[in-house]
């Protein structure tokens, strides 16, 4: 869609250093031949040399940021180098992030600091390993120039791979242009790229909307199941494909507290852990508004049809969430009271300030006779002992041995997540001491999050020394 992008070249990095690259992802993208010459590979993904056949563009989009509409956002520090078919025949976007000014940079410099680049690399790849739909990271490059933030910081560029960068905000942009053909073309394109089945039914745009709602509900349920807080669920950061993008101020929750917020700019907790499912519906309502005229000629009828789909988001989300939570506590059958059992556990976790990730691993240990760590987490809470008894009773309906249930739990409950203090430690060493060892070690551990490894105990735990609340910042 020419109306929604501008041709723009990256600003070449002065002296790029390839800090990390994703060999297996390069393979998935058929980019292996490029790896034979890492110097050229670095030239390409630092904006110094054009990828063959590439015509870089910056995409236009709008967005509701913290509830307020901003009509003119767009790729202010990102450029789409092009699209490529992966090994499964799926079209993927290759995007540089932090490669300099674009027509959408507004008051920004179009650049990125190295810290946020490495942070996105680490966390997005960890999400991928956890089976959560996400954009991927192909490279992280130190550009060799400083960027001016509150202090001078080393600059970075990352290469992001996504199944597309079409956002709810892209639809808001097309809608705001009042060009009805533009929004139809955008919807048709999104259907053919992401939801071809929706194109085959009587009302493709309604089916498209339902498909987006479904994917987004699945995504947020996945986030909730691992304690992930995205941090900036603005409509411009929500993809139509249902992949997680924009790892700015995101973080994993340690102690279970539903009102947890890490982002320094989220003063009112709009994007707190517990608000994520509500914001999901809020954002999709913004998408629905842009589709009204496509769904039905009669506006009232269109609103009625879209509202029916919107009303399904909550139950659809709850179903996904319930299914993920069931498997976290070892249930494979479905019983009506399961939701109470899960809610009671979450309540007890909150009251006892229990670490979200450790709790589920300790439960499986308790099931095979090692109650030390669960006792440690819940102290001697009698209410928790009662819950354990209820849980055991419920597990007896499964007709599977406790050992088997415990192993199945360990396959869905990660032991190693990107612990905030470990991420910070790794970034500090990489950015300020040019030492990638802690980063590479952490990245390596996160590649196998379910398998306990001797000697890595410190990577399992939250930071027990810090008294300060962990704070995150937008990745600018």
Helices first, then strands: H and E counts in the chain = 15, 12
User: How many alpha carbons lie under 13 Å from residue 383 in its C-beta half-sphere?
Assistant: 11
With CB cut-offs between 5 and 8 Å by kind, which of ligand AMP, Mg ion, none does residue 463 bind?
Answer: none
> Shortest Cβ distance from residue 40 to ligand AMP (Å)?
27
Instruction: Kindly identify the residues of this chain, within the stretch 219-238, that bind Mg ion according to CB under 5 A.
Output: 237
Distance of CA 137 to the CA centre of its chain: 12
Candidates 74, 133, 231, 277; binder of ligand AMP (CB under 6 A) is 74
- The helix/strand/coil state of 371 is coil
d(CA 195, CA 280): 19
> Shortest Cβ distance from residue 341 to Mg ion (Å)?
38
Residue with Cβ nearer ligand AMP (63 or 204)? 63
Residue with Cβ nearer Mg ion (211 or 238)? 238
With CB cut-offs between 5 and 8 Å by kind, which of Mg ion, ligand AMP, none does residue 367 bind?
Answer: none
- Of 33-41, 71-79, 292-300, 415-423, which part binds ligand AMP (CB under 6 A)? 71-79
d(CA 277, CA 259): 13
Query: Within 10 A of 408 (CB to CB), how many other CB atoms are there?
Result: 17
H or E segment at 395?
Answer: helix 382-396
- Of 69-77, 88-96, 171-179, 461-469, which part binds ligand AMP (CB under 6 A)? 69-77
Burial (CB < 10 A; 0-12, 13-18, 19+), residue 380, is: exposed
Rounded (10°) CA dihedral 100, 102, 105, 108: 20
Task: Tell me: does residue 137 bind Mg ion (CB under 5 A).
Answer: no
Handedness of CA 318, 321, 325, 326 (dihedral sign): positive
d(CA 130, CA 180): 40
- The helix/strand/coil state of 227 is coil
Task: Tell me: does residue 157 bind ligand AMP (CB under 6 A).
Answer: no
236 is catalytic: yes
In whole angstroms, how far apart are CA 46 and each of 18, 162, 438, 444? 9, 18, 24, 24
Task: Tell me: does residue 75 bind Mg ion (CB under 5 A).
Answer: no
Candidates 67, 108, 196, 269; binder of ligand AMP (CB under 6 A) is 108
> Shortest Cβ distance from residue 426 to ligand AMP (Å)?
21
Task: Tell me: does residue 296 bind ligand AMP (CB under 6 A).
Answer: no
d(CA 405, CA 401): 6
H or E segment at 150?
Answer: none
> Shortest Cβ distance from residue 246 to Mg ion (Å)?
4
> Shortest Cβ distance from residue 100 to ligand AMP (Å)?
9
Binding mask 237-276 for ligand AMP (x = CB under 6 A): x--------x-x----------------------------
Q: For the chain, what is the radius of gyration of the CA atoms? A: 23
Residue with Cβ nearer ligand AMP (78 or 94)? 78
Task: Tell me: does residue 246 bind Mg ion (CB under 5 A).
Answer: yes
- Of 21-29, 219-227, 240-248, 267-275, which part binds Mg ion (CB under 5 A)? 240-248
Annotated catalytic residue within 93, 236, 266, 355: 236
Residues that bind ligand AMP (CB under 6 A): 73-77, 104-105, 108-111, 232, 236-237, 246, 248, 474-476
- Residues labelled catalytic: 236
Residues that bind Mg ion (CB under 5 A): 237, 246
């Amino acid at each position: 869609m020419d109306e929604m992008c501008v041709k723009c070249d990256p600003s070449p990095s002065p002296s790029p250093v390839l800090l990390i690259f994703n060999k297996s992802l390069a393979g998935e993208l058929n980019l292996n031949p490029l790896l034979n010459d890492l110097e050229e590979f670095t030239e390409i993904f630092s904006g110094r040399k054009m990828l063959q056949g590439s015509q870089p563009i910056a995409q236009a989009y709008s967005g509701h940021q913290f509830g307020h509409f901003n009509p003119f956002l767009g790729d202010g520090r990102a450029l789409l180098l092009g699209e490529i078919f992966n090994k499964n025949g799926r079209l993927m976007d290759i995007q540089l992030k932090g490669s300099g000014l674009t027509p959408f940079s507004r008051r920004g410099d179009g650049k990125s600091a190295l810290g946020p680049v490495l942070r996105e690399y680490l966390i997005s790849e960890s999400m991928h390993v956890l089976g959560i739909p996400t954009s991927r990271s192909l490279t992280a490059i130190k550009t060799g120039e400083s960027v001016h933030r509150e202090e001078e910081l080393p600059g970075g560029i990352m290469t992001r791979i996504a199944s597309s960068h079409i956002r709810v905000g892209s639809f808001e942009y097309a809608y705001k242009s009042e060009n009805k053909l533009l929004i139809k073309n955008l919807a048709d394109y999104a259907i053919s790229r992401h939801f071809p089945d929706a194109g085959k039914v009587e009302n493709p745009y309604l089916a498209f909307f339902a498909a987006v709602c479904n994917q987004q509900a699945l995504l947020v349920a996945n986030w909730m199941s691992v304690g992930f807080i995205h941090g900036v669920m603005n409509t411009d950061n929500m993809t139509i494909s249902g992949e997680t993008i924009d790892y700015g101020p995101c973080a994993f929750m340690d102690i279970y507290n539903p009102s947890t917020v890490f982002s320094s700019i989220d003063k009112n907790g709009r994007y707190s852990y517990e608000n994520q499912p509500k914001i999901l519906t809020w954002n999709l309502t913004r998408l629905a508004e842009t589709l009204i005229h496509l769904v039905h000629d009669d506006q009232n009828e269109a609103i009625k049809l879209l509202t029916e789909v919107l009303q399904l988001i909550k139950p659809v989300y709850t179903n996904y969430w319930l299914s993920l939570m069931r498997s976290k506590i070892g249930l494979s059958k479905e019983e009506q009271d399961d939701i109470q059992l899960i809610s009671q556990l979450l309540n007890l976790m909150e009251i006892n300030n229990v670490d979200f990730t450790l709790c589920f691993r300790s439960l499986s240990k308790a099931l095979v006779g090692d109650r030390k760590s669960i006792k440690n987490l819940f102290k001697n809470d009698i209410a928790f002992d009662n819950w354990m008894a209820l849980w055991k009773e419920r597990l007896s309906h499964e007709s599977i041995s406790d050992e088997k249930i415990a192993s199945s739990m360990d396959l869905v409950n990660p032991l190693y997540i990107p612990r905030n203090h470990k991420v910070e430690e790794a970034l500090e060493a990489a950015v300020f001491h040019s030492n990638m060892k802690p980063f590479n070690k952490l990245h390596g551990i996160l590649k196998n999050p379910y398998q306990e490894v001797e000697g890595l105990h410190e990577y399992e735990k939250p930071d027990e020394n810090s008294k300060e609340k962990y704070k995150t910042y937008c990745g600018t």
